Amino acid sequence: MAASDGETAAEEYDGGPASSGADGTSALGLVGSRGVYAISVAAELVGTGQQNIRQYERKGLLTPDRTDGGTRRYSESDLATLRRIGVLLDEGLNLAGVKLVLELEAENRGLTEDNRGLADDNRELRADNRGLRKDLKRARETTVVDE
């Protein structure tokens, strides 16, 4: 992978959340995760060899879809992963290091999504709490007036 390709891939994928937009596209501009590309096309699109891609699969770095006949089919998400692998290899990591980085990035995305959900829940609970405090204040005021 050429340096300019690596720099572009690094800019496109920073390991942060790849959240989906309302139109189903991810932060990377990818649509869906259905495998549509043959290994030869995937290799050409990311600038690596087919044998490299097979090795990445053997090492557990990605798992492409398979047709009923067993042919590998790569999705846009798989292509993003292959580009990320290329960037990490260009930065000097070995495949074991690449695997750890990919796992940590995936875990980070999951935790980020969990955190967003918890923040949303927290906002809702705070709004409920404000409402309950108002109700309690009114109830106390009513009780004081009645006495």
C-alpha dist (Å) from residue 20 to 4, 17, 29, 97, 124: 27, 9, 9, 27, 22
Secondary structure letter of residue 31 according to DSSP: B
Q: Is the pTM of this model over 0.85?
A: no
Give CA–CA dist 135/17, Å, rounded. Answer: 40
- Backbone angles phi and psi of 91, in degrees to 5: -80, 0
Give CA–CA dist 139/89, Å, rounded. Answer: 66
**Which pair of tokens denotes residue 47?**
């600038």
Query: Could you read off the pLDDT of 34-79 as tens digits, one per residue?
Result: 899 999 999 999 999 999 999 999 999 999 999 999 999 999 999 9
Neighbour tally for 129: CB within 10 Å: 10
- Find out if CATH 1.10.1660.10 is the number for domain 3-108: yes
Query: Could you read off the pLDDT of 74-123 as tens digits, one per residue?
Result: 999 999 999 999 999 999 999 999 999 999 999 999 999 999 999 999 99
